[in-house]
Structure formats: structure tokens, C-alpha cells
Amino acid sequence: MINNHSAITIYSTSWCGPCASAKRLLKEKGFAFDEVDIEEKGMTREDLYEKTGGRTVPQIVIEGKTIGGYDKLLELESNGMLIT
């Protein structure tokens, strides 16, 4: 279960539609999260891979574990795993 006390980080870019959707879903559910815009930080896709294990955005990290992107977040939501 992921609750509103879970530490959540989203690695994103400003132009990414799935990134915006993931952030919107978390906000609607009342979750706080840290956002890391990889372009603002000057991170390459290789840097992102080293940090999260994924090269695409968004990469969502919950309690230090990468869950993947927006599709995986939707899967958690549909399975009732996002509890506020």
C-alpha cells in the first residue's frame, strides 16, 4: 500500500504528457511528491537510468523503489494500492 506519508519522487520533463498525468493523479489523490525535471537538472537518460533503472519519463520512485511510469501508477490505482 502507498499512503500519503510515502516518500514519492517523480523524474519528469516539462513537455511530457504522461508526466503531467501522473502528477495530476497524485495531486487529486492528495499525495505530496518531489519532482525532478531532468532537463532542468541537466540529467541525461543514462543518468536517469543509473538513478532509477529506467530511461523514459516519468520515472516514479516510491519509498526508494522505482515503480516505473504512469501506466504502473494507474495499475496501482486500479488495484486499490493508492490509499490517502
What would the pLDDT profile of 65-83 be if each residue is shown by its tens digit? 999 999 999 999 999 998 8
pLDDT at 20 exceeding the cut of 80: yes
Q: Residue 5: phi, psi to the nearest 5?
A: -105, -5
Say if residues 73 and 6 touch (Cβ distance below 8 Å). Answer: no
pLDDT at 3 exceeding the cut of 90: no
Rounded Cα gap, residues 23 and 1, in angstroms: 18
Strands (E) located in 1-84: 2-3, 8-12, 34-37, 59-62, 65-68, 82-83
pLDDT at 2: 83
Topology at the third CATH level for domain 2-83:
Glutaredoxin (3.40.30)
Rounded Cα gap, residues 64 and 16, in angstroms: 22
pTM of the model: 0.93
Where exactly are the structural domains of the chain?
A: 2-83
